Chain A
């Protein structure tokens, strides 16, 4: 087991370097003059241009620049935003809690509804419940986030007036951001109604962002359950006279969970991508919205830093999933 963990950990180094290279090359491939791209202004005088080129080290060979960039990244120096003139790193981490809060809620929403639904549908194949789950999930999977988000806003915010349209909390509440999670901060603030306000702002984005993972998790759990239930050892368990619940929940679930855990892990990437659309539609002040704005404002250092940080985050989660995979399936460890 230790060897397995060590192997996986050592494999993360080249992946990390690859991601850094991807981010490094991004700013070189972006159309436009490198100095102008980085300064965010046009028509710099030739003399000043050469001076800046030298100052920024852009006249050095690429591999030197790359080594330099890796060093900067390892020191947490991801460049300066062209628009706000603040370090990209602190810009990112100011906004990240909002995205994290939304993503955690979406994943919880997806797991809490998707896992039992998939299990039941798999255990009771071809029952009306199974058909319903399959119908609803295929619908959820086919619904683009931007379409679904608009439908939710139209129905629950504009027509019924149940939930707010955008933002994280009503403007009337003001308190210290201790954790950056609006719901927890609202609870800590002891202001009446603050928590309810934060929660009501969270509901629609959570549903919009969590629906696709929900459908994927439910379908994966169901098909994985079906596969496992066809195995010999399940027949043996049945022949021993064990009850259906015990067979499904204890014998089958453990093996059925292996592909499901992988799928949940892979959803983190989907979530971060979905956050871009969800945050844009609901004006949620997170990193997804910030990235779209960075592209539109040609703030390439911000885009570069944001891509790098999100990729590192997903990489870390993938590593954890890999390790968990090894815990759940001992056969993987031995290979």
Chain B
């Protein structure tokens, strides 16, 4: 409220600061969000330039170096900074290529589910009646099956593998977006500015997309950032249960499942993918938090 960062002098007073700049100012003041942002940029960098920065191929097996510890432990070497797994594959390289996979998984799942969810939510909130009942019942059916179970069922039908796992996870996220959009639409529709816009002659499509939707974006962006993290977790969970990415794909959950038998003998094989999943998901969640604080106008004034 009062402690909100003040706009800088050059943005004052006659030209209002742009909304994006406003978000950036608020984000900059939030240490967690900045950590998240920087870490995400770092992961994106790793993912894009994986071919250049990874010291080895993620699937190449060094047969003289099974289960070699990381460099800071006794027996480690700079050749394999994070050590190697049971097949002699370099863990750092697998981690870097795994980052690329995780970003792809998150992007595809979130885009797919967000697009479908917003469409369903808008139609449902605006038209009420039969479309609303139809859509929300369908969403209820999907919501009634726990997301991981639904994903497992879809994978059982389509067959295991990463593409099918992503489709399965995306399907499970649609109801949340649809419900969220519909709830925001219903709240916004009862407000005076919508009535004013309607009185001024705005058509339904205009009301939907340019009057109401921008005011519903806040929670959706926050939810999208948070589900980016969940998508990575869920894909890893499917991999962990043996239903997601297949070996030798360097997917973090699959790496974890393969490493479980060495939990006591070679803990780094477990700890490294664990840390990768945790930090990446944490970064997205911290940024989601920061975005929420920045985007929620109610907390601002």
Which residues of A are in contact with B by a Cβ distance under 8 Å? Answer: 11, 14-15, 18-19, 22, 26, 29-31, 126, 134-135, 138-139, 141-147, 150-151, 154, 158, 223, 226-227, 230, 266, 269-274, 276-277, 280, 291-292, 295-296, 303, 307, 310-312, 314-315, 318, 335
7 more contacts with CB within 8 A, not counting A26-B156, A269-B147, A314-B144, are: A31-B157, A145-B237, A276-B146, A295-B152, A303-B153, A310-B145, A318-B143
Is the C-beta of B299 less than 8 angstroms from some C-beta in chain A? yes
- CB-CB < 8 A to A150: which residues of B? 260, 263, 270, 274
A121 to B146, CA, bound (A): 30
**B144 contacts which of A230, A269, A335 (Cβ < 8 Å)?**
A269
- CB-CB < 8 A to B138: which residues of A? 18
Q: A29-B157, A295-B152 are in contact. Are A138 and B285 (CB under 8 A)?
A: yes
- CB-CB < 8 A to B156: which residues of A? 26, 30, 295, 303
What is the number of residues of chain B that contact chain A, defined by CB distance less than 8 Å? Answer: 48
A147 engages B277 (CB within 8 Å): yes
Is the C-beta of B83 less than 8 angstroms from some C-beta in chain A? no
Which of B137, B156, B242, B292 counts the most A-chain CB atoms under 10 A from its CB? B156
Closest chain B residue, CB of each to CB of A308: B145
A280 engages B141 (CB within 8 Å): no
B263 engages A269 (CB within 8 Å): no
**B157 contacts which of A11, A26, A146, A277 (Cβ < 8 Å)?**
A26
Is the C-beta of B47 less than 8 angstroms from some C-beta in chain A? no
Is the C-beta of B90 less than 8 angstroms from some C-beta in chain A? no
Is the C-beta of B233 less than 8 angstroms from some C-beta in chain A? yes
Closest chain A residue, CB of each to CB of B274: A147
**B149 contacts which of A18, A139, A142, A291 (Cβ < 8 Å)?**
A291
Closest chain A residue, CB of each to CB of B273: A147
Q: Give the contacts of B232-248 with A (CB-CB under 8 A).
A: 233, 236-237, 240-243
- CB-CB < 8 A to B159: which residues of A? 31
Closest chain B residue, CB of each to CB of A288: B149
A311 to B143, CA, bound (A): 8
Pairs across A and B, CB under 8 Å, 26 listed = A18-B137, A19-B141, A22-B145, A126-B3, A134-B289, A143-B281, A144-B233, A144-B236, A147-B274, A227-B299, A270-B146, A272-B146, A272-B149, A273-B149, A276-B152, A277-B237, A277-B240, A277-B241, A295-B156, A295-B243, A310-B146, A310-B149, A311-B141, A315-B140, A318-B140, A318-B144
- CB-CB < 8 A to A142: which residues of B? 229, 278, 281-282, 285
B236 engages A138 (CB within 8 Å): no
Which residues of B are in contact with A by a Cβ distance under 8 Å? Answer: 3, 32, 133, 137-138, 140-141, 143-149, 152-153, 156-157, 159, 176, 186, 226, 229, 233, 236-237, 240-243, 253, 256, 260, 263-264, 270, 274, 277-278, 281-282, 285-286, 289, 292, 296, 298-299
Closest chain A residue, CB of each to CB of B270: A150
**B141 contacts which of A18, A291, A295, A303 (Cβ < 8 Å)?**
A18
A226 to B278, CA, bound (A): 28
Which of A11, A30, A144, A226 counts the most B-chain CB atoms under 10 A from its CB? A144
- CB-CB < 8 A to A277: which residues of B? 148, 237, 240-241
A291 engages B278 (CB within 8 Å): no
A98 to B263, CA, bound (A): 27
A74 CB to nearest B CB, Å: 17
Q: A146-B237, A277-B148 are in contact. Are A226 and B143 (CB under 8 A)?
A: no
